[in-house]
Structure 1
């Protein structure tokens, strides 16, 4: 998921976020609601924002969904621009584009 950090806020690109589908996969819908639950701000069709206080929880959640095997790495890995320093608390679930 394409991501960037601005003013200590993690932004995940709207196009890369999971979508909720009423008749969709239980795993994907659970993933959507879990991300939404810890996000600071989730505007419709815009990037979601995550405060530094939840980054450890975000990392644990992404690792858990990755290990489940139901979602691909592109869906559970944060991708930062190459000139970005990845915070320690997100390093296990992040890479550079």
Structure 2
């Protein structure tokens, strides 16, 4: 998932936000609601934002769904531009583009 950080707010690019699909996979819909529940701003069709205070929770959610084996890495790994420093709290679930 492509991300950026500004003013201690991590944003997941709207094209990489997990979709909710009525009647879809329980795992994918649970993933959607888990991420949405800790987002400070999650508009439909927009970038989702996460305050620094929830980055540890974000890491735990991403690790949990990675380890489940149901989702691919591109759905659970945060991809940072190489000009940004990856915060310590997110290093276990992040890579550079």
Q: Do both share a fold (TM > 0.5)? A: yes
CA deviations 1:27-77 (Å, max 9, x no partner) are 000000000000000111110000000000000110000000000000000
Structure 1: where are the runs of 5+ without partners?
Answer: none
Secondary structure of 1:63's counterpart equals helix
Which ranges of 4 or more aligned residues in structure 1 deviate by more than 6 Å?
A: none
| RMSD over aligned Cα atoms | 0.4
Q: Which residue of 1 aligns with 2:83?
A: 83
Q: Which residue of 1 aligns with 2:7?
A: 7
Q: How does 1:35-74 map to 2 (within 5 A)?
A: 35-74=35-74
In structure 2, distance between residues paired with 1:39 and 1:9:
10
TM-score by length of 1: 0.99
TM-score by length of 2: 0.99
Q: Which residue of 2 aligns with 1:94?
A: 94
